[in-house]
Amino acid sequence: MDHPVGQASQWSEGAIVLADIQGCSSGRLSTYTMGILIFDMMTHTPDGDSGVRDHGGKGIEKWSDQHDCNVFCKTLDLAIGEDDDEQD
């Protein structure tokens, strides 16, 4: 299992956010696991220079405010933000 949004954010210490990701099932991979084809990805970076829809720091802040960590974040220990210290 791989979670590119959380990994990019964690790797860059929150400086790069992958947003507006769309995808579809690509069926079984050569490793016999299920795959997802990801496309139409948008990034937000501090300088706002990664592409047409890069909204810079405001985009990162908006993503951070709206993001709710889910099973992917928690399974990969990528939980970020205010809820990190909460106990289940």
* CA 75 – CA 64 distance, rounded (Å): 19
pLDDT 10s digits, 14-32? 778 887 777 777 778 788 8
Does the pLDDT of residue 8 top 80, yes or no? no
Answer yes or no: pTM beyond 0.85. Answer: no
A 10 A CB-CB count for 9 gives 23
Q: Which residue has the tokens 């992917």?
A: 72
Domains of the chain in sequence order: 4-77 (3.20.200.10)
* CA 22 – CA 36 distance, rounded (Å): 10
Q: Which helix (H) or strand (E) holds 39?
A: strand 34-39
